[in-house]
Amino acid sequence: MPTEREKACMACAACCRPTEMLLAPADLARIAARGYDVGDCTVPSRKHPGLREPRSVGNRCYFLEGPGPGGPFWCSLYPDHPAGCKLYPLVYDEATGEAVIDKQYCPHWKAFQDYAADPARRAELLRVLRDELGVI
Ligand code: SF4
Ligand code: SF4
């Protein structure tokens, strides 16, 4: 049974339309393990040379599905979607060097305040950015 937060995401998908989510090597390996051609469904990052991001198709992430008749959006990679997608709307604040909630782009950020306050989750975002993506 989806949580209220998951229901909000399934009706929203704003962060998947489009996306510039950076993909770590482990993310690319999981995508390939699902049978996708990584060279086709991902593209070089425009902001971070050497990294890749999902291809956008018609202003939507390649992996975004839906909505169906009266139904929600969903990610075709779920539950193996990229680490950054799992952690969003936690994002990195360059000014403070901390993980913060993205109040600018996530329209339902208030529903994520407890989620974003979890120290383990905040530490995980910094670990992914530092150790898997090498961008901080
Ligand atoms: S994290 Fe925020 S922007 Fe992304 S789908 Fe959920 S509610 Fe929408
Ligand atoms: S990989 Fe999935 S969760 Fe991430 S942006 Fe694309 S559709 Fe959204």
Which residue's CA is the nearest one to ligand 1's atom 6? 9
With a 6 Å cutoff on the Cβ, whether 13 touches ligand 1 is yes
Give the tens place of pLDDT for each residue, 41-86. 999 999 999 999 999 999 999 999 998 776 799 999 999 999 999 9
User: Band of the pLDDT at 7, cuts 50, 70, 90?
Assistant: confident
Instruction: Write the DSSP assignment of 30-69 as a string of letters.
Output: HHHHTT--HHHHEEE-SSSTT-EEEPEETTEETTEE---T
pLDDT at position 2 over 80: no
Q: What confidence tier does 5 reach under pLDDT thresholds 50, 70, 90? A: confident
Count of domains forming the chain: 1
For ligand 2, atom 8, which residue shows the shortest CA distance?
16
> What pLDDT is stored for residue 3 in this prediction?
77
The residue type found at 31 is I
| Mutation to probe ligand 2, out of 17, 85, 91, 102 (largest number of atoms < 8 A from CB) | 85
3 state SS of 9: helix
Tell me which residue range forms the domain holding 77.
4-132
Cβ-contact 75, 81 below 8 angstroms: yes
| pLDDT for 4 beyond 80 | no
Beta strand 56-57 with 64-65 is unpaired
What backbone torsions phi and psi does residue 90 show, to the nearest 5 degrees? Answer: -80, 130
